[in-house]
Homo-oligomer: A and B are copies of this chain.
Amino acid sequence: MESTDKRTAASTPASESALLRPSTAASAEYSALDFVLRVLLLAASVSAVVVMATSKQTERVPVPGFPPNVRVSNSAEFNNSPAFIYFMAALSLTGLYSIITTLASISVSRKAKIVLLVVALLDVVFLGIVASATGASGAVTYIGLRGNSHVRWNKICNVYDKFCRHIGSAVALSLLAGVVLVFLSMISTFTLYKRIR
């Protein structure tokens, strides 16, 4: 009984610091990874926006009902499709969000638990936004690439090749942004989980 008491008394400060130490070390480790992923998110979303914005291509295309040598100048650009407009809005917002949360992860993350919570909640919302924008733009790009013979939607990528390369790359970049957001959410969850051990 006495020995138990002695052990308890002696080990309290040690076990307390042992309880605190791995948590702090782990959260520092996660917060470094978190920072790197947030910078990657910023890079991916800003590149996606820039690549999509510079996709405009003008070609002289034949007019249906006229001989093939009668051609008019026609442009393909992202604001011809609501899916791409949504994409631009979503990825711009994500870029802005990633700037704010990168700054937050440098300055306050280890001190304020509430910041960790708010960022964890918002990461999930932005994942939903980025994933749906990727899906929408990916579906439209796929129709542009392959067409759909069942409903006679012709492919357009044989004419607007540069446009298609740009929108395809933008979709790939936003897929990367989505994957980064999945990992960020997982890290947030895991950091909270580690603290309740």
B contact residues around A153 at 8 Å (CB): 143, 153-154
Minimum distance in angstroms from A189 CB to a CB of chain B? 5
A151 in contact with B80 (CB, 8 Å): yes
Interface size of A by CB at 8 A reads: 49
Stretch from A36-44, A49-57, A100-108, A126-134 at the B interface: A126-134
A83 in contact with B113 (CB, 8 Å): no
With beta carbons under 8 angstroms apart, the residue of B127, B135, B178 that contacts A136 is B135
Contact of A124 with B by CB under 8 A: yes
Q: Which residue of B lies closest to A178 (CB)?
A: B128
B140 in contact with A185 (CB, 8 Å): no
B contact residues around A125 at 8 Å (CB): 182
User: What's the Cα separation between A124 and B185 when bound, in Å?
Assistant: 7
User: What's the Cα separation between A195 and B156 when bound, in Å?
Assistant: 54
With beta carbons under 8 angstroms apart, the residue of B80, B116, B124, B138 that contacts A182 is B124
Minimum distance in angstroms from A82 CB to a CB of chain B? 6
With beta carbons under 8 angstroms apart, the residue of B81, B144, B196 that contacts A196 is B196
B150 in contact with A76 (CB, 8 Å): yes
Which of A64, A154, A195, A196 has the most CB atoms of chain B within a 10 A radius of its CB? A196
B contact residues around A181 at 8 Å (CB): 128
